Structure 1
Amino acid sequence: MGSVDGLISGMSTSSVISGLMQVEAAPQTALKAKVATQQKVVTAYQGINTKMKALLTASKALVDPTAWKGGVATSSSDAATATTTSSGAQSGALSFRVNKLAAAHAVVFNSTVAATTDTIMSGSSFQIDVNGTPKTVNVTDTSLKGVVDAINKTSDLGVKATAFQVSPGQYTMQLTSTTTGSASTFDFTSGGNPFTLGAEQIVSTGADAELLVGDPATPLKVTSSTNTFKDLMNGLTVTATKVQQPTDPPVTVTVARDNEGIATKVQAMIDAANQALSEISSQTKNKSGSVPGGPLAGNSIMSQVASNVLNTVSGGTASNGSYKDVGIELTRDGQLTFDKAKFIAALDADPEKTQALFIDTAQTDVTLKTGLADKLSGVADTATQTNTGTLSRLITSGNDAITDLNHRVDDWDVRLQARQATLQKQFGAMETALGKLKNQGSWLSGQLASLG
């Protein structure tokens, strides 16, 4: 039944019902407030979880022993370039001369036709012997253009064709291997040259690239079918770019420890730890005067997570010295500092000892490892593991609580709708009753007036 504002009583029954419903809805309003508070708590946990996952990623980048090996390659000459293909590249130096560059096999024909549509062969196929393997090319159009198309469309042939104009109205063809190296050579099989384009002339012979190492009189020869020599040293790729003259100095390629790169990874780990600590501090701060506290104010579990991060540094390592020796210290306000120059100096002076401060390769039990990266990785992993991590469980528990509260809010919707309907019915009945009373009063007044 709808509202009947002021029909008989003159009162705003809808306003009265609205006021009563606000009182009735107080428990639901309280539940909604709890939902909002719980959502802030879950969001806070999620923010800390994100920062701790970033710390896990950054620390794992240093837990990998290959991150501490050689990684920067340099070349002394523009005759060759050098790059490392993995973080585990072998440190060291190698000298050599670039004696040959890799070449693709190519031939051209010394006669021409007047147009690319002119016929240059008879029959419907021919064979090309590619590095000792005969391969058949089927031809349906025996013109110069048709033969070029047939060669280029033959899969796995290893040879491509090009028709080109020698002079106005004079066309011929070049065949070129699709790869370089001595294995790229090709020739026609026993059937011979099938084309009416004259004799074939070698443009270039397929050849391997060649480096000479050692005594110039009796050098060791290092060959590659391309100009790229992969794993010339472990993790090192060298690319030859030009042939050297006998009087040119040899190329010296050096692979050195990537101290800058390692320092950058350490800085990233320290930054990630500080960001996680700052996030925990922000979310757990207590109210101060008019400044509100964080959603997790006074949360002892999160305070313990922060302590676990800080203790990885304050605890040090009994066997390898202090983290201060490699530029890492704690500040009074609960942050970590990193002195990059001090770290690089320590790494230069004693690479093994410096590495041991971050990763404990001797210990197989993860929980007993003493390296800083090991410990930070363990703290972050314990906090963020899916389903079992401290933060993961708190987030799941918080979301479950929100779901339960929302169900209770929904239940109140049903109860309040029923209550509102009851109030509307009651007030409607009241107006109806008042209407009857008014009618009776009017009748009585009329009767009394007739008696007078």
Structure 2
Amino acid sequence: MSSITIGGIMSGLDTTSIIDKLVAVEGNSQTLLKNQQTAQQSAVTAYTGLLSSVGNLAQQVGDLAKTSAWATVSATSTSSSVTATATGRTASSLTFDVTGLAAAHTLISGSTSSSTGATVASSGSLTLTNTATGKATAIDVGNGTLAEVVSAINGAGAGVTATAVQTSPGVYRLQVASSTTGDASKFSLSGFDNGYAMNTLTDGANAKIQVGSGQYAYTVESSTNTFSNVATGISFTVSKKEDGVTVSSTVDGSSVADKISSIVTNANNLLASIAKNTAWDSTSKTGGPLLGSSTVRSLQQSVLSIVAGAGAPGLSVTAQGQLSFDADAFKTAFVKDPTGTAALYGQSSTFDANGPISSTATVSNATSKTRAGTYDVTVSSSAKAETWQLVQPGTGIVGRLLTLNQGAKSVSYTVTADDTDMAGAAASFNKKLAEAGINVSASVDGNGNMVLTSTVAGSRNTFTASIDGGGTATRTLAGADIAGTIDGLEASGIGNILTLPPDADSGAAGLSIDVEATQADINSVGGAIGSITYKPGVAQQLESLFEQMSDSSNGELVQAQNTANSAVKTLQTQIDNWTTRLDAYKETLTKKFTAMETALASLKAQSTSLSQYFNSSSSSSSSSSSS
């Protein structure tokens, strides 16, 4: 006798198994939904991986696109007394003899005084004459004592410094030195009493180097010991006379090549991931989680298209759909043409000025929305650097407290006797300002007043200044930002930078331009200074592509991932609904089969009862017949 489960105890059927199978058949639709959800979850995971790769690449190519930061040139000198600094991307070399050093013109009195209180200029006035320009400055020396002469000269702001030097006990001479070096530092000082004439202690002189020898040798001079424009791309400072010095600058693109190589490796990993996630396996008849995704296919084709069309030295596309980088080819091209090679990787711009003006404009930044093109630039007002003038009180600059506040930063300086004059005070104040990280420079104007000027134009670099003791501090020019348009649309100004908003209805959206324009130029052309042509290089184009794809608000990859995430949630709702439906279906089947079993049990009971009844009746009949 076969085994019968409890579920079909009356019918002899395995009703539990029958119900499960019927529910499973009905649940095929839910199984399909679960499979679809698994596929969408795999797509979400794949998109997450791609977004991570794209985000990292966007940062890498963005850094590469900033070609102004490429560290590619180094400078060397064959002499420890000559320091060389690279100033561009050009390889150069220069051999020369240092034949003279720069010197500040210095005078010393021919006569001596027994004390600083001795009278040396009883007329009460001296005249200082600049030999180069012929400009004469009258200096009031009061009673004309040596001490008064020193104080008056130092307070005149005439570009010289006076000192009473004690050459031996009780013996004083007046020494006056120019604050600058070079031939142009020469001056004369007259008005002293008879017998107290000033003699030349040191002749103001330019530094000199001689390049070459013989008939075609030439000499170059500098008012300081620094030469900046002799050899292209290199600056050098001399400190002693010496023969046969060679300074040179070398262009080396190795560090940049390493960066590009790293980017190519990561880009190839991205392309390989796209290929894997979109592949179809004909053997297993299965596809990758992103099979059929037009978004990732577009990303793949765009990367390859940008690189193939850029013409960037050393960078190419293989027949297998990968990127290839030849570091040697890049370095060779870079050494030959550093500026042109950098432009092919980063960005380039040209400016066409309207008329004979000196205004210039260069692209300082662009966004993923900026398109290559030529755009008109107009400027209604130029950027201005905040400027203040400090006028010392009649009692002089020594002991005066100078204060400057810029934002949260503040610098105070009390002028000491060591500063001697306004020029010295300006030099000391400049040191304090630099230590505080304040972009303000102190100088002295032709009237001997201190001028404080922001080194960065614009409203963000304004400041306030003061001087105590009866001096006056006056703002002579308020810092202001540039104002103008790009492509006919109003641009925002920060310092000298004009920027078009990223959402502007223009191909120049997000373009930032560094403009140098004088108000005279602006007025002469009615503000229409010219047009700028922008061309992104391969790194800039890739950065734009990757930013477009990964933008958190409307990036194509992000939107595709969001769509997959939404599908997962929608499918989960449908799966949950099917679970409820199948539970109800199972409950219905169970009730029906239970009802069937119950009916069968009732019929069986009735059958048994009838059988017993008929059997009983038959027995009674048989007994009666026997009687």
CA distance in 2, matches of 1:431, 1:75: 107
Per mean C-alpha deviation after superposition, the further-off stretch among 432-441 and 57-66 is 57-66
1:25 corresponds to which residue? 27
Distance change in 2, residues 1:415/1:92 (3 Å): farther
| 1:219-368 correspondence runs (5 A) | 259-290=253-284, 292-316=286-310, 322-323=311-312, 326-362=313-349, 364=363, 366-368=370-372
1:383 corresponds to which residue? 549
Distance change in 2, residues 1:16/1:413 (3 Å): same
Aligned length: 299
Distance change in 2, residues 1:377/1:13 (3 Å): same
Q: Deviation per CA, 1:341-375, whole angstroms, max 9, x where unpaired?
A: 11111111211111011111427453223301011
Contact 1:359/1:371 (8 A) holds in 2: yes
Contact 1:70/1:91 (8 A) holds in 2: no
2:46 corresponds to which residue? 44
The letter for the 2-side match of 1:354 is T
Distance change in 2, residues 1:290/1:61 (3 Å): same
Contact 2:76/2:249 (8 A) holds in 1: yes
Deviation at 1:337, TM superposition (A): 1.0
Distance change in 2, residues 1:89/1:313 (3 Å): closer
Q: Deviation per CA, 1:130-176, whole angstroms, max 9, x where unpaired?
A: xxxxxxxxxxxxxxxxxxxxxxxxxxxxxxxxxxxxxxxxxxxxxxx
Deviation at 1:91, TM superposition (A): 10
Q: Deviation per CA, 1:308-327, whole angstroms, max 9, x where unpaired?
A: 111112223xxxxx32xx21
**SS of residue matched to 1:357:** helix
- Greater C-alpha Rg: 2
Distance change in 2, residues 1:416/1:292 (3 Å): closer
Distance change in 2, residues 1:255/1:407 (3 Å): farther
The letter for the 2-side match of 1:367 is R
Distance change in 2, residues 1:253/1:401 (3 Å): farther
Structure 2, unmatched stretches of 5+, are 81-85, 94-206, 209-223, 226-239, 241-245, 351-362, 373-534, 619-627
Distance change in 2, residues 1:357/1:451 (3 Å): same
Q: Deviation per CA, 1:92-119, whole angstroms, max 9, x where unpaired?
A: 99xxxxxxxxxxxxxxxxxxxxxxxxxx
1:427 corresponds to which residue? 593
Structure 1 or 2: larger helix share? 1
2:66 corresponds to which residue? 64
**SS of residue matched to 1:375:** helix
- Among all aligned residue pairs of Structure 1 and Structure 2, give the percentage whose two residues are the same amino acid: 34
CA distance in 2, matches of 1:7, 1:71: 94
Contact 2:89/2:339 (8 A) holds in 1: no
- Taking only aligned residues, the RMSD between alpha carbons, in angstroms, comes to 4.3
Distance change in 2, residues 1:71/1:13 (3 Å): farther
TM-score (structure 1 length as normaliser): 0.57
Deviation at 1:73, TM superposition (A): 8.6
Q: Deviation per CA, 1:235-270, whole angstroms, max 9, x where unpaired?
A: xxxxxxxxxxx9xxxxx9998666221111111222
Per mean C-alpha deviation after superposition, the further-off stretch among 272-281 and 438-447 is 272-281
Contact 1:286/1:298 (8 A) holds in 2: no
CA distance in 2, matches of 1:350, 1:270: 22
Deviation at 1:442, TM superposition (A): 0.4
2:197 corresponds to which residue? none
**SS of residue matched to 1:381:** helix
Deviation at 1:53, TM superposition (A): 2.0
Deviation at 1:75, TM superposition (A): 10
**SS of residue matched to 1:11:** coil
TM-score (structure 2 length as normaliser): 0.42
The letter for the 1-side match of 2:550 is T
**SS of residue matched to 2:324:** strand
Deviation at 1:288, TM superposition (A): 3.0
The letter for the 2-side match of 1:32 is K
